[in-house]
């Protein structure tokens, strides 16, 4: 049935003059008093908010998380409290380096950001489709991202900047290898895994801590574009992943992911007995040592009715944890705790948590007041300070986390790649070895193609430095890339 609604100004005044501005005479100038013209132009001028500084191009949908297995021995988080329990959630996928209008099929990691609306608050798990990352310390993030964006002079993407940075930071090798494999060009968002990537913690009912990694395995099966297919799709449909997601959900073909965790005891994680630093984001925990444990299923089953409202305004933050789930000493995670809410305050404003998609649908009670765009009642007549004698607000000590043991009383700028933490090569080498011959070949060709873009006076230096990393990971990989690039390694001076 067609609804009969009156056209109004934003303040609610019904009006008729929507398409003709008020003028002096039919051919004369316009009048300043045509407020409707001002309002239309002024609001239009403010339609864009800053795009995300990274992960600007994205797609998202709502869904449910359902518990299938009991993990209450690790966590008291209410979301995991019983088998069969369902929690509403939001998932936003994204590419990383491109602008909001860039192509969905670019070679790039993919964001996998989730918000679970739990009774104890919104839990955000802001991950990627890769279990590792390029750098180990948050101080490096802005430099790294600059190399993925546009060259300040040419305003072009620059393979020279990228490989210069990666070759100078061999800790990136593991993630660069994944990026250069066909997993760097996934077939939309439904056919890739998601990872929390960092080590997080879980706290059980007795307030004991364990460390965990989160894995979301696609039930649709892994499917990737080859480099050529991705380029063709880019020319054909820049928004392939958005279209694929919305059309499948509209058709009732709801994508699913199986949540699994790896678990490490606090004693083991802190003992430094394990050969890896369990809080190093450039490393995976080998599944042979830490097997995957089933937890539940994420299903996306509802497209947002309005993209801007629910996806562009979505604000995810690794700082948003809930009782039973905690942070870890992973330096990158620690940096992200600050960075995301700070980005949201800039992009969406200080009251970004009140935007419906970000708002906890259960209780939020605190003494934060005022600020731009405060729309939640602002605490009404209630006291705006704590403690007070009036509102009966209580602190529930059951929510207190156990204290965190630390390994040293000394604050310093510790080298993240010190002796024992500087093996950047074994895990990428192992990953290359378990690839099928076809995957290896595609990866080699993708690397050759990408490194062929290095140019300028430092070209030989950058190529050689990166080649030495590939060699150290796997001799056959290094030799194949050198061959493809036409570099005669026997002729090169060692670094």
User: Beta-strand (E) ranges in 46-192?
Assistant: 58-67, 86-95, 110-118, 121-128
Binder of ligand HEM out of 81, 339, 426, 439 (CB under 6 A): 339
378 binds ligand HEM (CB under 6 A): no
Give the one residue of 97, 127, 186, 329 binding ligand HEM; rule: CB under 6 A: 127
Shortest Å, Cβ 338 to ligand HEM:
8
Q: How far is the CB of 164 from ligand HEM (least distance, A)?
A: 20
Task: Check binding of 193 to ligand HEM (CB under 6 A).
Answer: no
Residue with tokens 């991202």: 145
Interaction between residue 213 and ligand HEM (CB under 6 A): no
From 98-106, 282-290, 319-327, 329-337, span contacting ligand HEM (CB under 6 A): 329-337
What is the DSSP code string of 306-349? -HIIIIIT----TT---TTEE--S-HHHHHHHHHHHHHHHHHT-
Binding mask 50-89 for ligand HEM (x = CB under 6 A): --xxxx--x-------------------------------
Q: By CB under 6 A, name the one of 315, 322, 431, 462 that touches ligand HEM.
A: 315
What is residue 154's three-state secondary structure?
Answer: coil
340 known member of a binding site: yes
215 catalytic residue (yes or no): no
Count of positions on this chain that bind ligand HEM (CB under 6 A): 27
Distance (Å, rounded) from C-alpha 241 to C-alpha 183? 14
Question: Facing residues of 23 across strands?
Answer: 30
E-assigned strand segments in 25-109? 58-67, 86-95
**Distance between CA atoms of 217 and 147, rounded to whole angstroms?**
30
Task: Exactly one of 128, 248, 351, 446 is catalytic; name it.
Answer: 128
Nearer to ligand HEM, 76 or 424 (CB): 424
**Which of 149, 258, 294, 335 forms a contact with ligand HEM (CB under 6 A)?**
335
Contact assessment for residue 486 and residue 467, using Cβ atoms and an 8 Å cutoff: no
User: x/- site string to ligand HEM, residues 429 to 468, per CB under 6 A?
Assistant: ----------------------------------------
Give the 3-state secondary structure of residue 146. helix
Q: Does 307 bind ligand HEM (CB under 6 A)?
A: no
Binding to ligand HEM by residue 205, rule CB under 6 A? no
Q: How far apart are CA 46 and CA 471, in angstroms?
A: 52
Query: Residues of 184-217 as b/e, b for ≥16 C-beta within 10 angstroms?
Result: bbbbbbbbbbbbbbbbbbbbbeeeebbbbbbbbb
Task: Tell me whether residue 31 or residue 168 sits nearer to ligand HEM (CB atom).
Answer: 168
Strands 209-218 and 194-195: antiparallel
Q: Which position's Cβ is nearest ligand HEM?
A: 111
Query: Which one, of 138, 259, 264, lies nearest residue 201 by Cα?
Result: 264
Q: Which residues contact 173 (CB under 8 A, 6 or more apart)?
A: 166, 424, 425, 428, 469, 470, 473
169 binds ligand HEM (CB under 6 A): no
Among 67, 212, 314, 431, binds ligand HEM (CB under 6 A): 314
Identify the active-site residue in 55, 191, 320, 344. 55
Residue closer to ligand HEM by CB (options 168, 460) is 168
Place of tokens 């933490």: 421
Phi, psi of 483 (to 5 degrees): -60, -50
Q: What is the dihedral of CA 80, 86, 92, 93, to 10 degrees?
A: 80
Q: Which stretch binds ligand HEM (CB under 6 A): 231-239, 336-344, 371-379, 382-390?
A: 336-344
CB of 265 to ligand HEM, least distance (A): 23
Query: Least distance (Å) from ligand HEM to the CB of residue 334?
Result: 8
Binding mask 347-366 for ligand HEM (x = CB under 6 A): x-------------------
Q: Confirm or reject binding of residue 138 to ligand HEM (CB under 6 A).
A: yes
Q: Using CA atoms, how far apart are residues 47 and 66, in angstroms rounded to an integer?
A: 37
Please report whether residue 113 would count as binding ligand HEM according to CB under 6 A: yes
Residue 267 CB coordination number (10 Å): 11
Contact 89, 335 (CB under 8 A): no
The yes or no reply on residue 49 touching ligand HEM (CB under 6 A) is no
128 is catalytic: yes
The residue count of the chain comes to: 495
Residues that bind ligand HEM (CB under 6 A): 52-55, 58, 92, 94, 111, 113, 126-128, 133, 138, 141, 197, 314-316, 332, 335-336, 339-340, 343-344, 347
Residues designated catalytic: 55, 128
> Known binding site: residues?
340
């Amino acid at each position: 049935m067609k609804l009969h609604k009156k056209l109004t100004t934003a303040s609610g005044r019904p009006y008729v003059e929507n398409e003709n501005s008020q003028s002096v005479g039919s051919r004369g100038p316009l009048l300043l008093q045509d407020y409707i013209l001002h309002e239309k132009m002024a609001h239009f001028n403010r339609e864009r908010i800053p795009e995300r500084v990274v992960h600007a191009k994205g797609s998202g949908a709502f869904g449910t998380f359902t518990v299938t297995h009991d993990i209450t021995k690790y966590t008291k988080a209410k979301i995991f409290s019983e088998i069969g329990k369902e929690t509403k959630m939001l998932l936003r996928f994204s590419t990383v380096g491109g602008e909001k209008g860039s192509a969905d099929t670019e070679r790039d990691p993919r964001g996998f950001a989730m918000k679970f609306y739990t009774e104890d608050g919104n839990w955000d798990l802001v991950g990627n489709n890769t279990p590792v990352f390029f750098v180990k310390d948050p101080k490096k993030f802005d430099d790294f991202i600059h190399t993925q964006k546009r060259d300040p002079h040419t305003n072009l993407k620059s393979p020279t900047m990228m490989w210069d940075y990666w070759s100078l930071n061999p800790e990136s090798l593991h993630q660069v290898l994944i990026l250069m494999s066909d997993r760097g060009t996934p077939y939309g968002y439904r056919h890739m895994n998601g990872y929390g990537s960092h080590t997080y913690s879980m706290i059980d009912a007795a307030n004991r801590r364990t460390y965990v990694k989160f894995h979301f395995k696609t039930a649709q099966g892994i499917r990737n574009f080859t480099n050529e297919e991705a380029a063709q799709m880019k020319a054909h449909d820049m928004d392939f992943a958005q279209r694929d997601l919305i059309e499948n959900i509209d058709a009732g073909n709801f994508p699913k992911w199986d949540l699994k965790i790896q678990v490490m005891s606090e004693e083991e994680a802190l003992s430094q007995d394990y050969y890896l630093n369990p809080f190093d984001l450039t490393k995976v925990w080998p599944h042979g040592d830490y097997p995957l444990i089933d937890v539940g299923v994420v299903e996306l089953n509802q497209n947002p009715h309005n993209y801007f409202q629910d996806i562009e305004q979505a604000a995810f933050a690794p700082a948003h944890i809930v009782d039973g789930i905690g942070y870890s000493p992973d330096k990158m995670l620690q940096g992200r705790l600050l960075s995301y809410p700070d980005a949201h305050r800039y992009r969406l404003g200080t009251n970004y948590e009140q935007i419906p998609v970000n708002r906890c649908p259960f209780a939020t009670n605190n003494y934060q007041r005022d600020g731009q765009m405060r729309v939640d009642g602002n605490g009404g007549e209630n006291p705006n300070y704590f403690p007070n004698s009036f509102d009966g607000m209580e602190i529930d000590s059951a929510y207190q986390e156990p204290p965190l043991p630390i390994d040293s009383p000394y604050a310093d700028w510790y080298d993240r790649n010190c002796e024992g933490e500087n093996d950047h090569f074994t895990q990428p080498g192992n990953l290359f070895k378990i690839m099928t011959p076809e995957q290896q070949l595609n990866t080699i060709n993708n690397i050759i193609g990408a490194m062929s873009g290095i140019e300028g006076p430092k070209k030989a230096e950058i190529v050689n430095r990166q080649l030495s990393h590939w060699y150290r990971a796997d001799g056959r990989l290094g030799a194949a890339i050198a061959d493809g690039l036409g570099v005669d390694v026997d002729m090169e001076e060692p670094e």
